[in-house]
């Protein structure tokens, strides 16, 4: 596997390959051509070959791809090989919804802690994980070394929380806080805006209505 930096647009397509391959594996498919994979995924075969060539290929001329091998290799590229641990900060509606979504665990993301500044929530359990007070965040991180912190807190608290998290040395932030946060070198952030997706849908609907 090549260790060079890969374009973000390619990285963004990898989870989709991973999902399709996991479905193929579940259906007992052990080999697939780039043409078949492209038809299932609705992208061109040359796109698939180009994407996978960024990482050194994985396919064989005339054979196609070994599904299990490709699944494992893409899992490695996605950093899922050894699993990831995560904590959620903010145990409100969104924090509960994220904690309750079992598919993350299936993808290798294990929830090990939930924190909230509301003392009234401390001790409640979400998916078997007890909510802790956010004052205990740093000591928990020092001992348990989670890989990812999920920010499910309001925008006003996000910047301060990021500062605290940066000092702990945590490496990944999954940011739902509606705040455009910048992280220092050595840290990665992925910001999610569900409303962007909804507005994109609305725009697509306008376009189909115009056809």
Residues within the interface to ligand NAI (CB under 6 A): 89-95, 115-118, 134, 152-155, 157, 161, 176-178, 192-195
Cβ 124 to ligand NAI, closest distance in Å?
11
- Residue of minimal Cβ distance to ligand NAI: 92
Two tokens, residue 21: 């391959």
| Alpha-carbon span 68 to 110, nearest angstrom | 23
Cβ 196 to ligand NAI, closest distance in Å?
8
| Alpha-carbon span 31 to 159, nearest angstrom | 47
Taking the least distance from each CB to ligand NAI, the nearer of 7 and 97 is 97
Cα 177 to Cα 5, 90, 162: the distances in Å are 28, 10, 11
Cβ 94 to ligand NAI, closest distance in Å?
3
Taking the least distance from each CB to ligand NAI, the nearer of 73 and 116 is 116
Cβ 26 to ligand NAI, closest distance in Å?
29
Taking the least distance from each CB to ligand NAI, the nearer of 14 and 89 is 89
Taking the least distance from each CB to ligand NAI, the nearer of 38 and 157 is 157
Residue located via tokens 């509960």: 96
Taking the least distance from each CB to ligand NAI, the nearer of 46 and 200 is 200
Cβ 123 to ligand NAI, closest distance in Å?
14
Helix residue spans in the chain (DSSP H): 8-26, 34-41, 45-53, 67-77, 93-100, 103-106, 137-144, 155-168, 194-210
Residues 168, 194 contacting (CB under 8 angstroms): no
Residue located via tokens 């196609």: 64
């Amino acid at each position: 596997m090549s260790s060079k930096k890969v374009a973000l647009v390619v990285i963004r397509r990898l989870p989709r390959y991973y999902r399709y391959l996991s479905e193929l594996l579940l259906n007992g498919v052990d080999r697939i051509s780039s043409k078949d994979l492209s038809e299932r995924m609705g992208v061109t075969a040359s796109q698939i070959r180009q994407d996978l060539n960024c990482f050194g290929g994985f396919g064989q001329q005339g054979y196609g791809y070994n599904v299990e091998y490709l699944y494992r290799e893409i899992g490695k590229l996605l950093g899922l090989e050894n699993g990831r641990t995560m904590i959620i900060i903010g145990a409100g509606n969104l924090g509960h919804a994220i904690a309750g979504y079992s598919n993350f665990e299936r993808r290798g993301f294990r929830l090990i802690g939930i924190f909230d500044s509301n003392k009234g929530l401390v001790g409640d359990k979400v998916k078997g994980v007890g909510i802790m007070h956010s004052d205990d965040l740093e000591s928990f991180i020092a001992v348990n070394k989670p890989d990812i912190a999920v920010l499910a807190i309001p925008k006003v608290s996000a910047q301060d929380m990021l500062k605290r998290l940066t000092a702990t040395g945590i490496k990944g932030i999954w940011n739902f806080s509606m705040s455009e946060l910048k992280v220092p070198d050595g840290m990665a952030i992925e910001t999610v805006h569900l409303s962007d997706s909804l507005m994109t849908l609305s725009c697509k609907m306008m376009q189909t209505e115009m056809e």
